[in-house]
Structure 1
Amino acid sequence: MLAVSGCGLINHIKGKDNSGDNLEYESIEKKTPPLEVPPDLTAPSTDSRYIVPDLAQPESKTYSAYSRERKDGKQARILPEGFDKSFMRMERSGTQRWLVVKNEPEIVWLVIKEFWKGMGFGIEIEVPEAGVIETDWAENIAITPQNAALRKISTIERDKFRTRLERGEEGFTEIYISHRGMERPTDPGLEAEMLARLIEYFGVAKDKARSIIMDSKAKERAYLDPDNQDVLVMEGAFDRTWRRVGLALDRIGFTVEDRDRSAGLYFVRYVDPENKINEEPELLDKFLPWNDQEDTNQPTEYRILVIGTEIGSEVKVIDEKGELNQSDISKRILNLLYVQLK
């Protein structure tokens, strides 16, 4: 059964029963105190767009049905009753994992927002048309000393997460979660932990949620073409590779300006760390006529091409003419992707 009490579930995933996982987040952004309603006025009604569906009520298979139930004051659930693998499954390639859920992205979107809020995060970025939700930075207060003196000498962990929703096979939504640490690198284990907690939030028992994560097996590896280091070879088909590359870009921290799935193109902004663009120029350098640092100190747009092949897929960095970009920076970009996708 998928019946779960809302308050109990939110308390659970916030870390009060995390079996030593030591995860309890609090947004570092200042929170605005709630408005106090004068005693002679009626409190405002809750915005139904931000209510987590009750998993035990009659199912909503479409967004329109979900909206009607909300309008009628009814509650909906995100998964059908009687869980089995046809409703939810975990897939994996290398260190990447993603969740496949039987429901429409429009409904999953609402639940994802409430999940992150329940975990203690604020929502910093929402791009519905791209299926992207990004949290703000939050501090893991479960391991942070409350003593002011100890805080000064202790490591404070701050994390943020990006969730990307992709419309999968008919009637399914694929959920990708990528982690970024303020003081530490991307942690695939923490991404898996958040996916497990999201499965619990959908109403699956904790032990079952953990088994879903553990049962996912790695497949579809990636490698740099030994005969052409400017090409990253992927064992998966185009659809899978397209989504994996998108998740890898999120993990690395690239700014994705645009994407054209039909053409297999990601348009990204990249700042070369060896270009020293963040260094403050010397005072006299600002007035030298031959100093063109202002033009080179800007992030450069690159095009990452994903194409399907007979044996899988290939990933390349190309220029505006569609030709292979063989610069040192393009090689660096491919290597960054390879580290995430291998």
Structure 2
Amino acid sequence: MKNNFIVTIFAALALSACSSPGSRERTSGDFEYMKVKQQSAELKIPEELERPQRSNRYDLPTLASSTSAKALLGRDVRISSPRLVLPLVAGSHVEEGNEGATVMFDQVDDNRSLDKTIWDKVLSYLEQNNIGVESFDRDNNTLTTDWVISVTELDSSWYTFSSDFIEQAKKFKLSLNVAPHGRTASLTNEIVDYVDENGSSIISKMDPITQRTNEVDFLNYIIEEYDFGARLAMSERIEKIRDGFGSELGVNADGDPAVIINAEYNDAWPRLLLVLRKMGFDVIDLDQSSGIMFVLYGGVEDGFWSGLFSKETLPLEKDNYRIFVKRAGSNTSITFKSDENVNFDAKQTSDIFPVFQEYMASNNLDI
């Protein structure tokens, strides 16, 4: 029993050694084919026959003489899958046919310029990972990092029960290409220097697969940071909208009676849709870019339950109305109008304000 147990352990260790990270990226087996030389015996033609015309259509191509091409033979052939750029961020994608470490971004948040948003995310990732910036040319949209230190585990024999690590230093250049309309941009990453554990620069000897692996991995780290920040910001925004906002009576930019919401336009807009529904309005049509809503006030349904919730009843005729939503600095103004585009006067606005104010400030408003 004891002997069987020991044999099982050694078999498991042997199998684990065979599947080490380094070995999984290389070919295995014998490489006798590398010793085979091409036979180029000339076709023998009898003297009485005419020699046929020879075609080179099926000749084997000559192996390139470059160092990188000669290295990719036998055990040095890489069989790992090529690294893929991961477009995780909303509005991002990979352009078909682009072989570089490049990701495309589309404008999603109209509050900030796309190029500023991307660079902010890049700088945030570098700062969080203590990566310095060697140069940043904002006008030409290029950034070169300081040395990025990576630690790699070396393959070791299974019986040593220990691991060896080496440190390598790399520098990357990030380039942002923004479309003339400013709503689309591509971020490209390229490795510009690579120093091995001996302090020697090996960037000129790097094979294409290793180069792409390093470039795509670093770009994907930035994309992940971008995605996390975007999701965190969205989560915080949703929570803020759910908590509600304060509001007060005031005037809009034209001096007309209005309700002032203590929230930015993009936060006030979705909250307003919830509040209007609760107040008894049905939104028929809307355009957030111009800040206008066409609504129908249907009132509260008649019946026993309506008497218990009289606060929901507004002093309005069941009719069509218009609501204009405008930015007012860090606040948002709401102006109610009739279907004929006539502003509510101060009394009409103040009559509906108590109900509006209560729902706008309600926590976790439920429709």
- TM-based fold match above 0.5: no
Greater relative CO, 1 or 2 (CA 8 Å, sep 6+): 1
Between structure 1 and structure 2, the one with the greater Rg is 2
Normalising by structure 2, what TM-score?
0.28
Normalising by structure 1, what TM-score?
0.30
